[in-house]
Amino acid sequence: MRVDLFDFDLPTDRIALRPASPRDSARLLIVRGSTLEDRIVTDLPLMLRGGDVLVFNDTRVIPAQLEGRRGEARIGATLHKREGPRSWRAFVRNAKRLRPGERVDFGSGVTALAEERGTDGSILLSFDGEEPVELLLERAGRMPLPPYIAGKREADESDADDYQTMFAREKGAVAAPTAALHFTPPLMEAVAEAGLGHETLTLHVGAGTFLPVKVEDTEDHVMHSEWGRIEPRAAERLNAARAAGGRVIAVGTTSLRLLESATGEDGMIRPFEGDTDIFITPGYRFRAVDGLLTNFHLPKSTLFMLVSALMGVETMQAAYAHAIEQGYRFYSYGDASLLLPG
């Protein structure tokens, strides 16, 4: 499909630079079939039905943004995918000044050797020493805010909490599963009281999620890969819930992508552990999910293509036009939408 079919005009002031406070006070646009309804996130339990199951991503964002030097050259690195115990793929700023075999000093006693360059332009960094890399990043790294936020303000202490979900447990993401940022303990209590279930899976979100689509046709786009896991018991409970008439509602596109990667043609969700590079565009037949809670995405992004695959391009273009007109806030720290296909 032509990428320009997923374009729309988004005023820059619609991109949220801070989250709503409290988190569950964010606005919620209900898209049910082709109908639209304005709500707030605390209304979510009223919008679903008993027996439905919300599926959250429990990945935890690590301080994956590093600033260092190679000689006199300033080098910025954003880690995006672990390749080994001490090795990470990184998108590097000023990459022309860094060649394989050279070391970068990131300060605080943290250094790394640049190894081969990937076909996507990333560089494999191998961290020196014996300390766990996670400890090195705690010393030298910063929270990796999305580029459309980082370009307007510096990350600060509040982002250390604001950019983690209440479910964050498994360290390894360099971007938050932002739909779950809206959830609070009181909201989860309301979810349980409404007879809704919840499960968790793990998908370590990579910085590739922010890469722009530079081709003219979706068939020519190469999707980034990310590591994920669905435990056997979680898969078993999700299948049982669907068999009993409940719906699987993915919280975030990361949860949706992993669920669809783990589901066979027979509609059964299976245990999963490994990489996925699934790229969902209109025409895709969904096997695992019956709905999606997600934030508002940027024009011509793979994420807007995904929601268009679920609901239809015309429906999502109309929903986003409504959201822009009504002042909804977009992307990671923005408002949410609940997408329920007809």
Question: pLDDT digit of tens for each residue in the chain (342 aa)?
Answer: 999 999 999 999 999 999 999 999 999 999 999 899 999 999 999 999 999 999 999 999 999 999 999 998 999 999 988 999 999 999 998 888 899 999 999 999 999 999 988 887 889 999 999 999 999 999 999 988 888 888 888 888 899 899 999 999 999 998 999 999 999 999 999 999 999 999 999 999 986 666 678 899 999 888 888 999 999 999 999 999 999 999 999 999 999 999 999 999 999 999 999 999 999 999 999 999 999 999 999 999 999 999 999 999 999 999 999 999 999 999 999 999 999 998
Residue 30 token pair: 């209900």
The conformation of residue 224, written as its DSSP 8-state character, comes to: P
CA 279-63-273 angle, 5° bins: 40
Domains of the chain: 3-61+161-340 (3.40.1780.10), 65-141 (2.40.10.240)
Helix (H, G, I), strand (E, B) or coil at 135: helix
Q: Is the dihedral of CA 155, 336, 256, 186 positive or negative?
A: positive
pLDDT at 222: 83
Count of beta carbons in the 10 Å neighbourhood of residue 46 = 11
Residue 134 token pair: 């996670």
The b-or-e profile of 303-335 (16+ CB within 10 A means b, else e) is: bbbbbbbbbbbebbbebbeebbeeebbbbbbbb
Residue 32 token pair: 């049910």
Kind plus residue range of the DSSP H or E element containing 327: none
pLDDT at 208: 67
